[in-house]
């Protein structure tokens, strides 16, 4: 199975409440096979699930400047907590803020038997980063399908 066909389970679909966003730190393999942290955010809006790399295009920082805070107060837009950029949830386009016109990097998400999976990316089976957890992000066990 090649990289484009592999699925990696992030969480159960039921782990993402409606009108909420959840951040995960996955572990991506770079071109040299090194393990690097890869923060992502998945959210549910009505009956749709969206996913993006958790990185604001303005300065490359994580959107959740405050842990677990991804949405604006009206729960309508993804929000960069540092500079206030607002992103349209279905498209990832910045509609207001310093990176207006730019876009979040989308994830290729697939639902497989109730699991929310990411495809088209090389992930490590286990993180192996030995990072100290601050409980800011849910723990994830990555498995290929």
How confident is the model over 64-85, as pLDDT tens digits? 978 889 999 999 999 998 889 9
The whole model's pTM is what? 0.82
Average pLDDT over residues 39-51: 94
Domain 3-119 fold: Rieske Iron-sulfur Protein (2.102.10)
What pLDDT, on a 0 to 100 scale, did the predictor assign at position 134?
44
Tens digits of residue pLDDT in 105-122? 999 999 999 999 999 988
Give the angle subtended at the CA of 105 by the CAs of 136 and 85, to the nearest 5°.
Answer: 70
pLDDT-derived band at 130 (thresholds 50, 70, 90) equals low
pLDDT of 5 strictly over 80? no
In terms of pLDDT, which residue wins out, 138 or 100?
Answer: 100
User: Parallel, antiparallel, or unpaired: how do β-strands 48-53 and 35-45 relate?
Assistant: antiparallel
Helix (H) or strand (E) holding 25: strand 20-29
Q: Where are the domains of the chain?
A: 3-119
Whole-angstrom CA distances from 139 to 11, 79, 145 are 10, 23, 19
Average pLDDT over residues 84-103: 95
CB proximity list for 34: less than 8 A, separation 6 or greater: none
């Amino acid at each position: 199975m090649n990289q484009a066909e592999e699925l990696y389970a992030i969480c159960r679909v039921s782990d993402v409440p409606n009108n909420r966003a959840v951040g995960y730190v996955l572990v991506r393999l770079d071109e040299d096979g090194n393990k690097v942290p890869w923060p992502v955010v998945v959210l549910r809006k009505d009956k749709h699930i969206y996913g993006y790399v958790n990185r604001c295009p303005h300065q490359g920082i994580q959107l959740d400047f405050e842990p677990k805070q991804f949405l604006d107060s009206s729960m309508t837009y993804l929000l960069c907590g540092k500079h206030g950029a607002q992103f349209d949830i279905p498209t990832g386009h910045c509609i207001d803020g310093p990176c207006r016109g730019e876009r979040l990097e989308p994830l290729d998400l697939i639902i497989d038997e109730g699991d929310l999976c990411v495809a088209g990316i090389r992930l490590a089976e286990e993180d192996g980063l030995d990072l100290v957890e601050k409980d800011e992000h849910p723990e994830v066990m990555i498995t290929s399908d």
